[in-house]
Structure 1
Amino acid sequence: MHLRSGKVAMKQLSGLDAVFLHLETPQMPMHVGALHLFERAPGTRGRFAAALRRHVASRLPIAPPLRRRLVPMPLNLANPAWEPAVPDLAWHVVEHRLPAGSGLAELEALVGRLHPVLLDRERPLWRFHVIEGLAPGPDRRRRVALYTQLHHAAVDGQAAVALAQALLDTTPEPRDVAVAARPARRFRLGTPQLLGGLLSNELRQVGGLIKAVPGSAVALGQMARQGLGGLAGSAVQRLRALLRPPAEAAAGASRAVVGNLGLAPRTPFNASVTETRAFATVGLPLRELKLLRKALDASLNDVVMMVCSGALRHWFLQAAAQGRPGLPRRSLVAAVPVSLRAAGDATANNQAAMTLVKLGTHLADRAERVAYLRAASASMKQNLGSIKTLMPLDFPSLGLPWLLGTATRLAGRTRLAERIPPVANVVISNVPGPGFPLYLAGARMLSNHPASIVVHGLALNITVQTYDQSLDVGLMACGRAMPDVQVLAAAMREELEALLQWASA
């Protein structure tokens, strides 16, 4: 919905965008971001925070998510709207200083402390944390880190990539941006205008949903038939017929049937989350991942899932050895976001849905586990068209802020996530990124590890993004459910090496 008065325009948030606002609590912050490591050019003087403020100021004209803030509807009856705003860069770009010579462990711990802090809804919903005090690189060049926070109501993974393209450069010398920013006028529409536009938008959304009902019914029928077909066959029996060599196992996976519908086993991750976070990172060489992809004739996303599967299996086996809950007998299930964006669409909003993939963690034999996961991934891809048809990006929101907000708080207080059967155990998200080095305010970015969201019932999030010659992984977990997330990060590196050895045997 667009509400206008003179030259001022406000756009009401879509249903999907606003859900991230309504679900937010102190236990479930709904912002995403990343931990970046930068190397400053030799001879560079001054504080990086000051340079970054100047740089961001020059890019605001081409970075709409950084210069808008929320306008609530009267009585919080429906989704809020965006209005233009001028960010206070002294507040939005803040500096932290670690003890001199700090490294990755100190960085990860700081992100774990910063991530639960909610963004101020009276301001544009973002904040950049510059982190000084790091040990220099091997060539003694000065290093600095940046932890970014962007509310998920404003961007999804692909929109965040588009924003990064506006802020980052391909050379140390920042490019000129010749777009003039429109001045933000501090003007808000009156209650009658807001209510009139709100009711008009609600009617339009109801009409859109009614038109979508026939297509959704067909999609549901297709998914049900595919799901029942997958459940009817015995996946294990089919997999035993597969040959052991990796190449043949990969080819045979396309003949196996693994249905992704059904409940997931209960794990320590299926818990109500607290206000604490544990964060870990790992960088996987992109060259090795591509070699594995070629050897198995698989997609890069399939290879990522294979690495996660083996690493999770390792983590649970180690937990069992320490007297904690061990590996479930049934496969863990990953909730996997999928983009609904059309090619070239860089709109700063959310256009994504969620699907499920079984990870095959219950299978000790690596050939069977890889084939199982390939089959599960193929089944998921068959349902993607139906999922895109079913998932509305916008829907009526009258009363939704009250309803969702109250339900979320009640679910947290009653620990509902530990009472209902889980449908997934972990979120695994793969966001494509650039295959070349980038620069920010003249500093070269060395790594780009995502920092994402955990929610009640899904206390672990693994998000990966390709950057330059690496696949940078960010693992965010509830500090109570999984305080040793660094163990899982190390297991991902070990699993990649094991898969490479197995595939080359």
Structure 2
Amino acid sequence: MDHLSSMDASFLHLETPETPMHVGSLMLFDLPEGYRGDYYDDVKAQLAKRLHLARLFHRKLAPMPFELADPVWIDDDDIDLDYHVRSVTLRRPGTMEQLEVLIARLHSSLLDRSRPLWEVYVIDGLANGQIAYYSKAHHSGIDGKAGIEIAKVFYDVTPQAREVRPPRPPRAGNAYQLGVAELLQAAISNSMAQYVKLGRMLPQMTKALGATAVQFIRTRRKAPRERSLGVKMAPKTIFNASITNQRSFGSLSVPLPELKLVGKQMGGTLNDVVMAMCSGALRSFLHERDLLPKKSLIAMVPVSLREADDCSNNNQVSAIRVDLATDLADPAKRFQAIRESSEASKELIGGLKAMLGTDLPVAGSPWLMSGMASLYGRSNLGTRLPRLANVAISNVPGPAVPLYMAGARMARYYPVSIPYHGVGLNITVQSYAGEMEFGITACRRVLSHPEVHELAQHLLASLRELQRLAPVAVQETKLPAPAATAPVRVATPVAKKRVNAKPASHNPAPRVHSRRAAHREERRPA
């Protein structure tokens, strides 16, 4: 058995019917030319050969009696692939907008805790001949970086699937369920180990906390920041409400070199460009509705605590708050304020890294945290209480080369993430094979499907605004203006035959999968 860390277990305890705590991915695959097989069967066969390479896919939870302590992971050698790997067909005409609505619905349902916490859907019926592949796994067993490592297990870098070693036969006496005595003994021993570890680390943690405080004070004295967040709360927006389990989802692809070049020319990082895009998009979206608060929006941004060579299937993350500077109309000043805020938050969390990854044992944490999560959502406190952030924004580095599964090339790799009470909008970004893939996940009561697509259009407009600020070197490679000569590419119905899309590098123009968004983009002046 494996003990869950307090961070991993928190994703279980904070889960309610309104707030499923799983993360997912939507991938689009181009089938090989002349393919005549059943891709669902091919995918299931390849997964069956490789499930043993990632423990996430063949372990399940064993809860403690009376929820006195966090559950443990136990191996499950009886995986029902017909349950975990499912086939879905889109209705005609099979547009990308239909697919996104389906993904939003699939992402809204809870995973079955009596089984390993993952599901896969192979979706056909897209008008352009591509196959969609949606997977979701519970956040208690995986974070963004661990998800990328698991992707390396299941996918290949060539159309030819590599051979892997077969699984070892299960050990004799491997019980399907643990007894009460075993579970209680495990809970006691794990709690004692956590307390001992915490006691040993107290001097180091105290030293780190003191050094960080001194460094923070010295930095403020040398270079005082006018826009320091401090303990400032986020203003109230339409995104900050208690949510339901209904979801909306939208996707966007932008050439990665374009973002890197903008960041280089403006003296920031790729993450700064992403944050500035989100800031400009949110500002425009709210301003058009006369809902933009006078105070700046604040983003909650996950940061990884994982070492470079750590590939374990668990969570090693914390979060920082970043000032989105949406109160500034000047995009150049807005970019600079975002960059400074991000750097200040990273400096602060860098000194506390050793503390943030420490387990903090709490007796009865399952029922205590679950009760608080349920109370927080059902009492509408997410709308009434002061809020730390308005929106969650995450940037996950993904594979730099094209991936393949069962011989099909992965053309798109969109993240699907978690909104929560009080933060009903999540924008997660992931790089893949020369593209930056945006996944916008929201509560449908907070943002409808058309509004999510509109927000994607504002992201594009925000990027063009940043490019106009950059020097001539950036403008020479700027994105096409939304004129009739360079329309936004939209998924449209075609003849019912397989179409093999070209690699993303063949066409650097950004893609927004929304017919309504495309018409709006054509009407907007350059």
- TM-score > 0.5 by shorter chain: yes
Whichever residue aligns with residue 158 of structure 2, its letter is T
Whichever residue aligns with residue 181 of structure 2, its letter is P
Structure 2 matches for 1:52-451, cutoff 5 A?
A: 52-85=43-76, 86-136=78-128, 142-183=129-170, 185-221=174-210, 258-261=227-230, 262-320=232-290, 326-451=291-416
Per-residue CA distance 1:126-181 (angstroms, 9 max, x = gap):
00111111012xxxxx3110111110011000111111110000011110002434
User: Aligned pair in 2 of structure 1 residues 333, 215: CA closer, same or farther (>3 Å)?
Assistant: farther
Q: Secondary structure at the match of 1:427?
A: strand
**Most deviating of 144-153 and 171-180:** 171-180
State the 1:32 CA deviation.
0.1
Q: Aligned pair 1:499/2:486, yes or no? A: no
Whichever residue aligns with residue 260 of structure 1, its letter is L
Matched residue, 1:487: 454
Cα contact 1:28–1:455 (8 A) shared by 2? yes
Whichever residue aligns with residue 384 of structure 2, its letter is R
Per-residue CA distance 1:448-476 (angstroms, 9 max, x = gap):
11000111111111111000110001010
State the 1:52 CA deviation.
0.9
Whichever residue aligns with residue 474 of structure 1, its letter is G
- Distance in 1 (alpha carbons) for counterparts of 2:141 and 2:239: 27
State the 1:271 CA deviation.
0.8
Count of residues in correspondence between the two structures: 466
Per-residue CA distance 1:389-438 (angstroms, 9 max, x = gap):
33134231430111011111111111111221111111111110111111
- Distance in 2 (alpha carbons) for counterparts of 1:300 and 1:401: 38
Cα contact 1:116–1:275 (8 A) shared by 2? yes
- Distance in 2 (alpha carbons) for counterparts of 1:174 and 1:258: 52
Whichever residue aligns with residue 163 of structure 2, its letter is D
User: Aligned pair in 2 of structure 1 residues 452, 181: CA closer, same or farther (>3 Å)?
Assistant: farther
- Distance in 2 (alpha carbons) for counterparts of 1:216 and 1:158: 25
How many percent identity over aligned positions? Answer: 42
Q: Secondary structure at the match of 2:162?
A: coil
Matched residue, 1:38: 29
Matched residue, 1:237: none
Cα contact 2:49–2:166 (8 A) shared by 1? no
Per-residue CA distance 1:193-242 (angstroms, 9 max, x = gap):
22122112111112222333344444445565677788899xxxxxxxxx
The gaps in structure 1 that reach 5 residues or longer are 1-9, 137-141, 234-253, 321-325
**Most deviating of 280-289 and 92-101:** 92-101
Q: Secondary structure at the match of 1:128?
A: strand
**Most deviating of 190-199 and 80-89:** 190-199
Cα contact 1:35–1:451 (8 A) shared by 2? yes
Whichever residue aligns with residue 80 of structure 1, its letter is P
Cα contact 1:310–1:495 (8 A) shared by 2? yes
- Distance in 1 (alpha carbons) for counterparts of 2:257 and 2:321: 28
State the 1:328 CA deviation.
1.3
Whichever residue aligns with residue 145 of structure 1, its letter is A
- Distance in 1 (alpha carbons) for counterparts of 2:217 and 2:19: 35
- Distance in 1 (alpha carbons) for counterparts of 2:208 and 2:236: 29
User: Aligned pair in 2 of structure 1 residues 226, 27: CA closer, same or farther (>3 Å)?
Assistant: farther
